[in-house]
Amino acid sequence: MDSKSTRGLATRAIHGSSGRDAFGSPHTPIYNTTTFAFRSTADLLDVVEGNKPGSLYTRYGLNPSIVALEETLAGLEGAQQAWAFCSGMAAESALFLTHGREGVVCIGDAYGGTLELLSSQLPLLGIRTHLILGSEIDRLDALLAAGAKLVFCETPGNPTLELIDIPALAARVHAHGARLAVDNTFASPVNQRPLALGADFVVHSATKYLGGHSDLTAGTLMGSKELLAPVWNWRKNLGSMIAPETASLLSRSLRSLVVRVRQQNATAQLIAEAMARHRGITRVMYPGLPDFPGHDLARRQMDGYGGLLTIEVSGGGIAATRVADRLRLFALAPSLGGAESLVTQPCTTSHHDLSPEERRRRGISDAMLRLSVGLEDPADLIADLEQALR
Ligand code: PLP
């Protein structure tokens, strides 16, 4: 183990890349260039043929701003390799097209875009996909025995925060010679590191906690060098590369990731406890509450309980809409992980396109509001919820 991988997470977030520039900048600046010039054809061929590391062409990812970001990302998840992408969906698409062609099984709640890609679009290419609920996990062995080679899950899931036991799932998937990919967007590497728990891939919408300021769109896929090597050509030729400006902005954001997420964990815990005591709330879903069904599992596989929680408002869907519309600090917006607190009503946003029966089957009620806790003062956020509930 090299000295870099034994450093703490906050240190790795700041000193995770070896990139410095010739002028002594403490971090890699923006290399806002599409291509790089060589002194000779022999030098150019050395890079093209992979004999020497070097910068070549930005869409290939061979740009110092992008390489520096990828080194830091890999260090945070304990991955051998990270590839950066222009969005979380671009990272997922490259994963499915490279490693999911023999069939993909998605377990539990996943982001709506992921569900649409898997259920409506990949089948157009002849890729067999199966969407099963966490409660239907008994179907997994048969699907893997029938040939599916990639299992995908999101934990905590959206919007119920349902948790999946990553080590147990990884063992089951590996017994069939298949691979496990975990979308770690909700937890962030501060709270959960799936590769260390047995997963083969980690995917992130870096648009969320990694970016952390609601001002960039990006994604990343991480894993072993061997498994990520074939993804490189797909990213290159699908053209789903992150821009150098965005890569630099994301590296900037990562330097504060640990303090941001730990604060969001602490504030979310306070809000969850306040909402659990509130008469206008019938249920609070948050892994940090001792009576949450996944609490013991969260204690085992997570280092923090996260900045997302879901509350169920008494009075049903209409009452929940009224509360969402009356919140002042929580902005009504479909994203998460930023410095600003956000609220969504899943039945009108992420899960709007599912039929009411399918929402019910997935345990998603109209009365649910999902809160993404930002970096405001906890007392102000609780006061905002209390005035809206009144
Ligand atoms: N995964 C999760 C858990 C998400 O919430 C999202 C977006 O909301 C995505 C993936 C897709 O990410 P992006 O919007 O960066 O493409």
Q: Indicate whether 2 pLDDT > 70.
A: no
Q: Please tell me the distance from the alpha carbon of residue 341 to that of residue 274, in angstroms, as a whole number.
A: 16
Q: What is the pLDDT of residues 120-134, one digit of tens each?
A: 999 999 999 999 999
Same domain flag for 96 and 64: yes
Strands, E assignment, 118-256: 129-132, 150-154, 179-183, 201-205, 219-223
pLDDT digits (tens, 9 = 90+) for 24-54: 888 999 999 999 999 999 999 999 998 999 9
Query: Would residue 1 count as lying in a domain?
Result: no
Q: Whose CA is closest to 12, among 21, 20, 3?
A: 3
Question: Does 144 fall in a domain?
Answer: yes
Residue nearest to atom 13 of ligand 1 (CA): 88
Q: Where would I find the beta strands (DSSP E) of the chain?
A: 81-85, 104-107, 129-132, 150-154, 179-183, 201-205, 219-223, 281-285, 308-313, 331-332, 342-344, 368-372
Question: What is the residue range of 287's domain?
Answer: 257-389
pLDDT for residue 295? 98
- Predicted TM-score (pTM) of the model is 0.96
Tell me: do 80 and 211 sit in the same domain: yes
Looking from the CA of residue 89, the nearest atom of ligand 1 is: 16
- 390: Cα within 13 Å, side-chain hemisphere: 6
Model pLDDT for residues 193-248, shown as the tens digit of each residue? 999 999 999 999 999 999 999 999 999 999 999 999 999 999 999 999 999 999 99
DSSP state of 224: -
The answer, yes or no, to whether any atom of ligand 1 lies below 6 A from the CB of 217, is yes
For residue 358, name the pLDDT band (cuts at 50, 70, 90).
confident
Region label for 254, one of left (φ > 0), alpha (ψ between -120 and 50) or beta (otherwise)? alpha
Closest CA to 337 of 234, 252, 211, 240: 211
The per-residue pLDDT for range 141-191, each reduced to its tens digit, is 999 999 999 999 999 999 999 999 999 999 999 999 999 999 999 999 999
Q: Does the pLDDT value for residue 136 go beyond 80?
A: yes
User: Which residue, judged by its Cα, is nearest atom 5 of ligand 1?
Assistant: 111
Q: Do both 247 and 351 map to the same domain?
A: no
pLDDT at residue 1, rounded to an integer: 46
| Cα 205 to middle of ligand 1, angstroms | 5
Same domain flag for 300 and 217:
no
Strand order in the sheet with 368-372: 281-285, 308-313, 368-372, 342-344, 331-332
Report the nearest-CA residue for atom 11 of ligand 1: 88
**pLDDT for position 349:** 85
Residues 142 and 277 in one domain: no
Tokens matching residue 84: 């950066």
**How many domains does the chain fold into?**
2
Give the model confidence (pLDDT) of 46-88 as tens digits.
999 989 999 999 999 999 999 999 999 999 999 999 999 999 9
Q: How far apart are CA 227 and CA 80, in angstroms?
A: 10
185: Cβ below 6 Å to ligand 1?
yes
Same domain membership, residue 246 and residue 103: yes
Mean pLDDT computed over 295-300: 98
With respect to residue 2, please indicate whether it lies within any of the assigned structural domains: no
Confidence band for 276, pLDDT divided at 50, 70 and 90: very high
Are 180 and 315 in a shared domain? no
Q: Is any atom of ligand 1 closer than 6 Å to the C-beta of 334?
A: no
Q: How far is the CA of 360 from the centre of ligand 1 (A)?
A: 23
Per cent of the chain over pLDDT 90 is 90
Out of 254, 271, 306, a domain closes at 254
- What's the 304 CA to ligand 1 centre distance in angstroms? 21
What is the whole-number distance in angstroms between the Cα of residue 142 and the centre of ligand 1? 29
Q: Do 63 and 119 lie in a common domain? A: yes
Verify whether ligand 1 is closer than 6 Å to residue 220 (CB atom).
no
- Amino acid 32: pLDDT: 96
Average pLDDT over residues 292-301: 97
Statement to judge: residues 227 and 318 lie in one domain: no
293 belongs to a structural domain: yes
Measured in Å, residue 114 CA sits from the centre of ligand 1 at 8
Q: Encode pLDDT of 246-259 as tens digits.
A: 999 999 999 999 99
Assign residue 276 the CATH number of its domain.
3.90.1150.10
- Ligand 1 proximity of 109 Cβ (cutoff 6 Å): no
Select from 182, 208, 336 the residue to mutate for testing ligand 1; criterion: most ligand atoms less than 8 Å from CB: 208
Last residue of a domain, one of 254, 289, 314: 254
Domain end point (choices 254, 281, 308): 254
pLDDT of 20 strictly over 70: no
Catalytic residues: 59, 111, 183, 208
Residue 203 within any structural domain of the chain: yes
